[in-house]
Amino acid sequence: MNRKIAPKIKDAVDYTLALKPYEHYTLDNGINVYSIDAGAQEVVQLEMVYYAGNCYDPLKGIAAATNFLLKNGTTNKTAFQINEAFDYYGGYCNRACYNETSVITLHSLSKHIDKLLPILHEMLTDSVFLQQELDIYKQNTKQRLKVNLQKAEFVAGRLIDSYIYGEHHPYGVYTNPLDIDALNIDACKAFYQEYYINGNCTIFVSGKMPMNFKESLNAVFGQMPVNKKPVIKPVNKSIQIEQRKFRIDIDPNSVQGAIRIAMPFPNRHHPDFKKVMVLNTLFGGFFGSRLMSNIREDKGYTYGIYSYIQNHVQESAWMISTEAGKDVSEATIEEVYKEMRILREEKIGDEELLLVRNYMIGGILGELDGPFQIMAKWKNIILNDMDESYFYDSVYEIKSVNADQLMELANKYLRPENFWELVVY
């Protein structure tokens, strides 16, 4: 090897990407388990995914409250004792509630996972939902909401969703203080009984599995009475607000505005989706994007501006998000529309397109670094009712989409009349 000669640089697009396959099996009660046994570290991540998200709410906020209270007391353990049990074995248990699903995630050392599975099972099958725990949850949630409602970026995020989806759509509805006050323990217990005890669960597990882990998992969770098929509740179409431009002042002394520009967009099953991901990356999806180069680097209006496709199952939205000085907020919006116009009228150069391709492929390479990240890819594919062809088709589109196709997509979607715009000061 001649060390005076630098090695050739290999573009990321020249790499062949492969998604490590999972092992699929079912527990005695029919629960589907997707497993990846890999990694150098002796750790395991286990995710229990229930179809118990916000779209199933009988009362605004019940799904989120029920999910939170799962860890706050069982017949035999208080909230403190549950947390102490996880801490004792070096584990960590978290829960989250999304639009369609709710997730309980356990991180554990491989050698202690058998000790923590029964505690997780007790949380999921024997939660008691104490009134005092709900009262604390309501108090804390209202206080956080009160603080957040004074932040322009928080208010902008809530409002833009209600504009593009409709205020009664599950993706556009948000809780207010009166909704939090209306939460009651009986509604939480009923939701828990229907969507957790008798609901549907899918398990995703990744990391370094201990010996006989499959048998241990079945012994603990294989007898749970879950019996429903995984059904995504269809969302009711809501009447969208026809007005497209909004300016809202929540703080007369503010020095900047939170800007959101968005339009409804199809989900991952739409034939344009994969190519649009390339167009979005070039437009505003990374630090070298058109929006960033113009509005941050050239104009100095903002510290950062990004565009992205929201990660929803049934519908989605194309969103541009930034915060800019109050005196340049309108100019920022004009520059966004200017960049849309340029993409509609001028072909993308080969060098810029190669940069975007390399960035996206490099990002995927990073996302496949480790069992947790690989399982995150699979979970997204499985929960969106797709198969591995989606991954490989996406990689193909990144490598093969051309300037003409991207200009055609820009003319189809990137038109100011398609977008709602909002500035919150």
Locate the DSSP E strands across 18-134.
Answer: 23-26, 32-37, 43-50, 92-97, 102-109
Give the mean pLDDT of 324-339.
97
Give the mean pLDDT of 281-304.
96
Chosen domain end from 155, 186, 221: 221
For residue 83, being part of any structural domain is answered with: yes
Q: Are residues 338 and 402 in the same domain?
A: yes
Both structure tokens of 123: 């949380």
pLDDT band at 9 (very low <50, low <70, confident <90, very high): confident
How far apart are the C-alpha atoms of 118 and 87, rounded to whole Å? 15
Both structure tokens of 168: 């009664």
Q: Are residues 194 and 257 in the same domain?
A: no
Q: Are residues 114 and 258 in the same domain?
A: no
Q: Are residues 65 and 126 in the same domain?
A: yes
Q: Are residues 319 and 383 in the same domain?
A: yes
Residue 357 belongs to what domain range? 245-424
For residue 259, being part of any structural domain is answered with: yes
How far apart are the C-alpha atoms of 396 and 390, rounded to whole Å? 10
For residue 286, being part of any structural domain is answered with: yes
Q: Are residues 188 and 279 in the same domain?
A: no
Tell me what pLDDT residue 166 has: 87
pTM: 0.91
The domain that contains 149 carries what CATH number? 3.30.830.10
Q: Are residues 253 and 353 in the same domain?
A: yes
User: Number of folded domains in the chain?
Assistant: 2
Q: Are residues 31 and 155 in the same domain?
A: yes
For residue 183, being part of any structural domain is answered with: yes
Tell me what pLDDT residue 319 has: 98
- Summarize pLDDT for 104-118 with one digit per residue, the tens: 999 999 999 999 999
- Summarize pLDDT for 200-221 with one digit per residue, the tens: 999 999 999 999 999 999 999 9
Tell me what pLDDT residue 234 has: 62
- Summarize pLDDT for 20-46 with one digit per residue, the tens: 999 999 999 999 999 999 998 999 999
For residue 227, being part of any structural domain is answered with: no
For residue 15, being part of any structural domain is answered with: no
